[in-house]
Structure 1
């Protein structure tokens, strides 16, 4: 029979020590926030010291070799943010350049609400596709289904949207008051 080494199971004194807050001297405790765990002062709200537990630069997934930031000339990287993957400058926060990884589908359909912009496809933070006016924030028109450049026969609204209703593809008026539907020809 082999003996169990008790040193493997003993607690070390340094593991039980708490780090003091650099602002007030109270102990730091691990707290949970919407962006993950962080260290915060135990005497909050009297002391508002916080420190991230994640190392900086963790949001960089891969540096893109041969790519150059149009703003500062440094390399670009694929980064992970709260809304998914995007392309950003490696010199953030000094350089704020960002670009989307997804290609925007510019439908060239004029916005029926303002008439100035065009409807483009965008992706929500939940990954759903929707179409909105590219003149945002001046125009906040949005439709969830794919727009069709055809005016509504009943109310005259500038577009119709494609919807699958009971297995068949239909064109529907996006205006809630109208509700007109046509069979797709």
Structure 2
């Protein structure tokens, strides 16, 4: 049976060299944030210097050749963010231009909550489709199923939603407490 060499674990031989803060000269320490670890000044809150530990350009999936940012003229790239893929400027953080990869499908159905916007088809960060008001964040109305421009025969709510229940297509009132269902047949 072999013994473990204790010199492998001596702190003075394997200590990391500490880096000084470029703003104030204090020591930089590794901190944990909601987007992962980063280097931050140990003199915080007096000094607010931070630096990402992630390599630059890690979020860029592919640079779009022949494209140009409408704000700064630099090339655009397909990037990966916390809500999935999107198109963004390669000069981020100097330029904050972003665009969605998926075009939102605007229905011609008026929002039943505010009567000013229309319901848009959107995709969540998990890939699920939902419908929300085009006036978000002023109106936060959302339904998970496809809306139908038909008033509920019971409560009078301005839309119904399309649901498939045990192979039968039904229109269901999305209002809590109502739940009226109208059968549309088997498809």
Q: CA deviation at 1:109?
A: 1.4
Q: Provide the rounded CA distance (Å) in 2 between the counterparts of 1:13 and 1:98.
A: 47
- Count of residues paired in the alignment: 177
Residue 183 (structure 1) aligned with residue 174 (structure 2): no
Q: Provide the rounded CA distance (Å) in 1 between the counterparts of 2:164 and 2:112.
A: 22
- Give unpaired runs (5+ residues) of structure 1: 1-8
Write the mapping of 1:103-182 to structure 2, written as runs, cut at 5 A: 103-182=103-182
What is the TM-score when the length of structure 2 is the normalising length? 0.80
Q: Provide the rounded CA distance (Å) in 2 between the counterparts of 1:43 and 1:151.
A: 61
Residues 14-73 of structure 1 show CA distances to partners (whole Å, capped at 9, x for unaligned) of 753222334554433322221111112345556543221113332221110112222333
Across the aligned residues of Structure 1 and Structure 2, the Cα RMSD in angstroms comes to 2.6
The answer to which of 10-19 and 131-140 deviates more is: 10-19
Write the mapping of 1:1-185 to structure 2, written as runs, cut at 5 A: 13=13, 16-42=16-42, 44-45=44-45, 47-185=47-185
What is the TM-score when the length of structure 1 is the normalising length? 0.81
Change (3 A) 1:98 1:23: closer
Change (3 A) 1:65 1:137: same
Change (3 A) 1:68 1:43: closer
